[in-house]
Amino acid sequence: QSVLTQPPSVSAAPGQKVTISCSGSSSNIESNYIFWYQQLPGTAPKPLIENNDKRSSGIPDRFSGSKSGTSATLAITGLQTGDEADYFCGTWDNSLSAWVFGGGTKLTVL
Amino acid sequence: QVTLRESGPALVKPTQTLTLTCTFSGLSLSTSAIFVSWIRQSPGKGLEWLARIDWDDDKYYSTSLKTRLTISKDTSKNQVVLTMTNMDPVDTATYYCARQGYSSGPFDHWGQGTLVMVSS
């Protein structure tokens, strides 16, 4: 099982907003920056959000990140069919001395 | 432009040793302060970090796989190599190499991944 917990799937209609949660603990999310990655079908992950809430290079402002305590949230507004992908959260875990990830959330744009 | 490319066998037998190579272009392992990890993804599953080697040759391993992993670099070839011993069918996955621009930063460049199947 993944160290960080994400919902397996979320869905929303085009133009709507969706949020994806990522839950961890004091040794990972609470103590370190959280990162979000987007994995389009058949491709490698690419960075979306770094350092909790900073958009990576080239990422539109429809994507935003936040963190509170042991949880983090990725929000996507103005959903487009091209946003259909798997989304992963990741961070460093002080207890494991390892980078850890969530199990991924599959976004479906209905 | 920084690119990473993984290479290695597509099929290994149980108990064999897997050797994967990550070849860089667009930056030099000998002159850049970079941090290179191997990350794998089992079919339909999440991401699992395996190991990292830093520009100064510091190395870090997943606690659960530490006894089976060795990471190294060849700066003359601009390559990072991962070996994993005693392969098992549960190790079937796509293996990615990924770069961090600084120690605590995001994995900002990834290879395309290489699928390794473990089967007799």
Tell me the pLDDT tens digit for each residue of B37-69. 999 999 888 899 999 999 889 999 999 999 999
Phi, psi of A26 (to 5 degrees): -70, -20
Kindly list the distances between the CA atom of residue B40 and the CA atoms of B27, B56, B78, B88, in Å, as whole numbers in the listed order. 23, 24, 21, 14
Q: For A20-51, what is each residue's pLDDT tens digit? A: 999 999 999 999 999 999 999 999 999 999 99
What pLDDT was estimated at residue B1? 86
Residue B36 pLDDT greater than 90, yes or no: yes
Q: Which residues of B touch A56 (CB under 8 A)?
A: 106, 108
Question: Cβ–Cβ of B107/A45 closer than 8 Å?
Answer: yes
**Residue A77 to chain B, least CA–CA distance (Å):** 23
User: B6, B45, B47: which to substitute to probe chain A, counting the most A Cβ within 10 Å?
Assistant: B47
User: A23, A56, A86, A99: which to substitute to probe chain B, counting the most B Cβ within 10 Å?
Assistant: A99
What pLDDT was estimated at residue A63? 98
**Residue A2 to chain B, least CA–CA distance (Å):** 7
Q: Which of B37, B106, B111 sits opposite A44 (nearest CB)?
A: B111
| Percent of all residues in chain A with a pLDDT value above 90, rounded to a whole number | 97
Surface of B (12-71) touching A: CB under 8 A:
37, 39, 45-49, 52, 60, 62-63
Q: For B58-97, what is each residue's pLDDT tens digit? A: 999 999 999 999 999 998 899 999 999 999 999 999 999 9
What pLDDT was estimated at residue B26? 87
Minimum CA–CA partner of A41 in chain B:
B44
Question: How far is it, in rounded angstroms, from Cα B14 to Cα A106?
Answer: 32
Q: Count of CB atoms within 10 A of residue A61's CB?
A: 8
Residue B27 pLDDT greater than 90, yes or no: no
What pLDDT was estimated at residue A30? 96
pLDDT classification of B33: cutoffs 50, 70, 90: confident
